């Protein structure tokens, strides 16, 4: 591989433009924390939604999809496609509520919904546990993916002629140090511009990343003789082209590609199917797919101009995230199976395609696209994590009455501290998938609390605290080989997750009814501010006859079903069109269009007046 001068010009131009955008918005971001973390609550839906998509488009994402396709075919993507059900639930049930709450972070929700010492503890605990620990783990696995990319593209990278460094007992490769330098660059522009600059940069970076992905898919498919050539090359593995896995009542999770090839079909156990489609999407916390919204998704919803823009931003995010983005990655992954059948690291084959197939200019564009995908995720994660540390830890517990400019200054410093912590954690992670699965099982059971706290008055701070810590009392027993059952997180993931969800749900329900509810005055204040409506708030709503809660829940549930159908059928329609199954493509697109029309009609009945501030 030779990176030409043209490639370097494209890459350097990308970095300059990213910095210029941040510099342009730096003055506005420095006014106060609302401008720094929420862009003054002025983002239009297309900017807020695209920023959500760009944040989830990390350097690890196409590599992870390549691994899924290599092992389980197209249907293997249901490991993350299932989260569309939670995403669409957020669109129609929570997007308006988040914007209406008028808070700075989703952790601050604790302050308007609960009260007393449990609420104070919960807010600080969430700031440390999610904003620092979990967030740093996410940044670390994104770093790990970027290291893998650099190792394939630039295998001989050195610093002062050295490939490896040991600093205070921690191992740093030259590739990781270069990633650290990119993190430093991201910290500079994120700390300068806050969310507005990050969101505008995200939109630019998303266009670059998608352009590069589509270009790679085009050249890759062309290299093997087009779609027909791809089908012929994988004719002995037709199961790879299946959109839906075959369900069998067996003890396996998702079988390996070798076994699937021998049987001629991909098999998914009933337990695994139930876990992925029936439980995971609502039960576990996962960045970008939190039940009820949360994290940087909530941050974008709260930064939108009004409730209408908040809803549309989240809808656009789900359409782009699940229906539009996957196909360039999937096509490239299938070509990689043809060109690199013996490769041990299947994720790295995606980068090999870039190295081996793209001409000068496009190679630079694709490398810049990878940098864009990486940097948009790191920037969003750090701005969001910093908002937790400043707004929910430093401001209420360390220095409550400082000036807004002082908090912005602390925010900028904290951005660098968070990135340093993430860089240290990166040295300790070896498998991205293991980090994913740990986060999902360690948060098993919290999802239902995050959903019900909006719609059931009886949920209190103890409910949330219990759901967050309960998994850690069961997990050691499940996975310990010496004192427990010795289950394997990878092979036994469905069983472990279901067990944790059942365990956590039992305990948080028990604790909820054994502890006092939030005071009536606090509940009235919350209902008056957010007016969520529904039967779960009837005892409070009856005492507030002048506050009109949300209605039309039957139509909202219908929109949830129709929205899920619209996104999935758009996804399938694009796939069928790519693979020249035109009749099926037309069918899927027609159904998706009808679903969209019905959603529009239902929203008119619910009333857009409620969406305006």
Residue 595 lies in a domain: no
Please tell me the distance from the alpha carbon of residue 20 to that of residue 197, in angstroms, as a whole number: 10
Q: C-alpha 163: how far from its chain's center? A: 33
Non-local CB neighbours of 74 within 8 Å, separated by 6+ positions: 240, 241, 242, 243, 330, 575
Q: What is the pLDDT of residues 432-482, one digit of tens each?
A: 666 777 888 999 999 999 999 999 999 999 999 999 999 999 999 998 877
Residue 263 lies in a domain: no
Q: Quote the crossing angle between the two packed helices 432-442 and 61-72, to the nearest 10°.
A: 90
Residue 407 lies in a domain: yes
Task: Work out whether strand 164-167 and strand 170-173 pair parallel, antiparallel, or are unpaired.
Answer: antiparallel
Please tell me the distance from the alpha carbon of residue 97 to that of residue 139, in angstroms, as a whole number: 28
DSSP 311-353: HHHHHHHHIIIIIISHHHHHHHHHHHHHH-TT-S-TTHHHHHH
Q: C-alpha 557: how far from its chain's center? A: 23
Residue 167 lies in a domain: yes
Please tell me the distance from the alpha carbon of residue 219 to that of residue 453, in angstroms, as a whole number: 49
Average per-residue pLDDT for the chain: 84
Cα–Cα separations (whole angstroms), residue 333 to 207, 216, 401: 21, 11, 53
Please tell me the distance from the alpha carbon of residue 235 to that of residue 338, in angstroms, as a whole number: 11
Residue 510 lies in a domain: no
Question: Are the C-beta atoms of residues 548 and 564 closer than 8 Å to each other?
Answer: no
What pLDDT is stored for residue 40 in this prediction? 63
CATH number of the domain that residue 85 is part of:
1.20.1730.10
Structural domains in the chain (count): 1
What pLDDT is stored for residue 500 in this prediction? 96
Of 56, 54, 79, 82, nearest to 69 by C-alpha is: 79
Of 89, 284, 104, 269, nearest to 195 by C-alpha is: 104
What pLDDT is stored for residue 613 in this prediction? 41
Please tell me the distance from the alpha carbon of residue 419 to that of residue 196, in angstroms, as a whole number: 20
What pLDDT is stored for residue 267 in this prediction? 54
Residue 264 lies in a domain: no
Please tell me the distance from the alpha carbon of residue 349 to that of residue 334, in angstroms, as a whole number: 10
Task: Tell the burial category of 32 from Cβ atoms under 10 Å away from its Cβ (0-12, 13-18, 19+).
Answer: middle
Please tell me the distance from the alpha carbon of residue 332 to that of residue 501, in angstroms, as a whole number: 36
Cα–Cα separations (whole angstroms), residue 278 to 25, 497, 563: 43, 12, 17
Residue 412 lies in a domain: yes
Q: C-alpha 87: how far from its chain's center? A: 10
Please tell me the distance from the alpha carbon of residue 372 to that of residue 123, in angstroms, as a whole number: 33
Q: What is the mean pLDDT of each run of 10 residues along the chain (613 residues)?
A: 81 82 64 57 85 79 87 87 94 92 86 94 89 82 84 82 72 82 76 65 80 92 96 89 71 43 51 82 85 83 87 94 94 96 88 91 86 77 78 83 79 80 80 74 93 96 96 92 81 90 97 96 95 94 91 94 97 97 97 96 74 39
Non-local CB neighbours of 8 within 8 Å, separated by 6+ positions: 364
What pLDDT is stored for residue 486 in this prediction? 87
Please tell me the distance from the alpha carbon of residue 291 to that of residue 446, in angstroms, as a whole number: 9
Measured from the Cβ of residue 495, the count of other Cβ atoms closer than 10 Å reads 18
What pLDDT is stored for residue 146 in this prediction? 85
Question: Are the C-beta atoms of residues 22 and 400 closer than 8 Å to each other?
Answer: no
Non-local CB neighbours of 473 within 8 Å, separated by 6+ positions: 503
Residue 15 lies in a domain: yes
Containing structural domain, residue 416 = 5-250+293-432
């Amino acid at each position: 591989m030779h990176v030409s001068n043209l490639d370097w010009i494209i890459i350097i131009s990308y970095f300059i433009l990213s910095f210029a955008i941040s510099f342009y918005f730096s003055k506005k971001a420095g006014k106060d924390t609302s401008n720094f973390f929420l862009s003054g609550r002025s983002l239009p839906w297309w900017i807020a939604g695209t920023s959500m998509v760009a944040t989830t488009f990390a350097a690890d994402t196409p590599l992870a999809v390549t691994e899924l396709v290599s092992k389980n075919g197209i249907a293997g993507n249901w490991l993350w496609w299932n989260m569309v059900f939670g995403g669409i639930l957020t669109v129609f049930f929570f997007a308006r509520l988040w914007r209406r709450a008028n808070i700075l972070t989703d952790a601050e929700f604790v302050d308007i919904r609960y009260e007393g010492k449990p609420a104070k503890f919960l807010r600080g605990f969430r700031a440390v546990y999610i904003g620092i620990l979990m967030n740093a783990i996410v940044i670390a696995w994104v770093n790990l993916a970027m290291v893998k990319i650099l190792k394939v593209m630039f295998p001989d990278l050195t610093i002062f002629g050295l490939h490896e460094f040991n600093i205070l007992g921690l191992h740093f490769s030259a590739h990781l140090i270069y990633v650290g330098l990119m993190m430093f660059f991201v910290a500079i522009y994120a700390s300068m511009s806050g969310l507005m600059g990050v969101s505008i940069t995200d939109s630019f970076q998303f266009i670059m990343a998608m352009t590069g992905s589509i270009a790679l898919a085009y050249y890759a498919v062309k290299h093997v003789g087009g779609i027909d050539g791809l089908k012929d090359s994988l004719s002995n593995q037709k199961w790879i082209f299946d959109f839906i896995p075959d369900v069998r009542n067996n003890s396996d999770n998702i079988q390996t590609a070798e076994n699937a090839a021998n049987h001629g079909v991909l098999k998914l156990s009933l337990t695994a199917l139930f876990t992925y489609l029936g439980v995971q999407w609502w039960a576990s916390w996962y960045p970008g797919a939190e039940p009820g919204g949360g994290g940087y998704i909530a941050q974008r919803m709260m930064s939108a101009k009004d409730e209408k823009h908040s809803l549309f931003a989240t809808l656009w995010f789900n359409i782009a995230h699940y229906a539009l983005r996957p196909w360039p990655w999937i096509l490239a992954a299938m070509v990689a199976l043809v060109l690199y059948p013996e490769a041990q690291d299947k994720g790295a084959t995606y980068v090999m395609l870039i190295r081996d197939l793209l001409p000068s200019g496009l190679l630079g564009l694709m490398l810049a696209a990878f940098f864009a995908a990486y940097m948009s995720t790191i920037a969003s994660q750090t701005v969001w994590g910093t908002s937790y540390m400043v707004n929910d830890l430093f401001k209420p517990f360390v220095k409550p009455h400082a000036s807004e400019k002082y908090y912005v200054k602390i925010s900028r410093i904290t951005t660098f501290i968070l990135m340093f912590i993430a860089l240290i954690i990166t040295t300790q992670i070896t498998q991205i998938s293991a980090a994913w699965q740990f986060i999902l099982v360690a948060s098993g059971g919290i999802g239902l609390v995050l959903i019900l706290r909006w719609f059931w008055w009886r949920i209190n701070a103890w409910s949330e605290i219990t759901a967050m810590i309960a998994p850690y009392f069961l997990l050691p027993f499940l996975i310990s080989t010496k004192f427990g059952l010795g289950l394997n997180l990878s092979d036994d993931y469905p069983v472990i997750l279901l067990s944790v969800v059942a365990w956590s749900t039992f305990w948080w329900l028990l604790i909820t009814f054994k502890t006092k509810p939030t005071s009536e005055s606090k509940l009235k204040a919350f209902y008056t501010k957010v007016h969520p409506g529904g039967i779960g708030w009837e005892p409070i709503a009856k005492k507030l006859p002048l506050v009109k809660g949300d209605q039309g829940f039957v139509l909202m549930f219908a929109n949830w079903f129709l929205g899920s159908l619209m996104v999935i059928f758009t996804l399938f329609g694009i796939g069928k069109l790519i693979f020249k199954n035109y009749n099926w493509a037309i069918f899927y697109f027609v159904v998706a269009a009808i679903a969209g029309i019905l959603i529009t009609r239902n929203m008119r009945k619910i009333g857009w007046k409620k969406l305006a501030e």
